Amino acid sequence: MTGLDETDRALLRALVEDGRLSAGALGRRLGLSQPAAWRRIRRLRDAGVLKGSRVELDGPALGFGVTVFLGVKLATKGRASHEDFERAVRAIPEVQLVHHVLGRYDYRLRVVARDLADFERVLRRRIMTLPGAGDIEANVLLSEERRPGPL
């Protein structure tokens, strides 16, 4: 889908900020009727531009104090090793994100753990034992902000 107009952009900005805004509330904010706002939301959903919501929780307050980004290089290359690695890494509950990348590493992972000791357990028992896993680099997350993007 191309050709967002200024109202679409304002609508997306508002929903990224607060995904629970109703069509009525959005309409009031943007000077649209409730049905007009709803039609725009539905169009953006149907086009796949709006792909559902993300819940933002206070991880540390819920006992998840540590987030680590990992770069993983496969020791062995080939289609089979990528498939084995991907199947196994998807089964680890602490792994929130897996991106296949090109560059110094083959995969980048986002891992959440209760504390550093818990992270070490996940790293040793689950990550380092993944099929094909070679060189691993870990960076501990200190702060994070999500930006609205080019809207």
Partner 1 sequence: MRIDDTDRRILRRLQAAPDLGVNELAELAGVTPATCSRRLDRLERAGILRGLHAQIDWAALGWEVEVSLRFTLDKTDPRAFDDFLEAARAVPEVTEIQTFLGRVDVRLHVIARDMAHYQAIYREKILTLPHIADVEALMQVAVIADDPALPL
Distance CA(14)–CA(20), nearest Å, equals 10
Given candidates 49, 75, 80, 128, which one binds partner 1 under the rule CB under 8 A? 49
Contact 149, 17 (CB under 8 A): no
Q: Does 117 sit near partner 1 (CB under 8 A)?
A: no
- For position 37 contacting partner 1 by CB under 8 A, the verdict is no
Of 28 and 69, nearer to partner 1 (C-beta) is 69
Residue 91 per-residue DSSP state: T
93: which 2 tokens? 């509950």
Nearer to partner 1, 55 or 117 (CB): 55
Window contacting partner 1 (CB under 8 A); options: 31-39, 72-80, 98-106, 123-131: 98-106
Q: Specify whether the backbone of 45 is left (phi greater than 0), alpha (psi in -120 to 50) or beta.
A: alpha
Q: How far apart are CA 135 and CA 106, in angstroms?
A: 10
Judged by CB under 8 A, does residue 75 bind partner 1? Answer: no
Least Å distance between CB 33 and partner 1?
A: 21
Query: What's the rounded Cα separation, in Å, for the pair 101 and 113?
Result: 23
List interacting residues with partner 1 (CB under 8 A). 1-2, 4, 12, 15-20, 47-59, 61-62, 64, 69, 71, 86, 89-90, 93-105, 107-108, 112, 137-147, 149-151
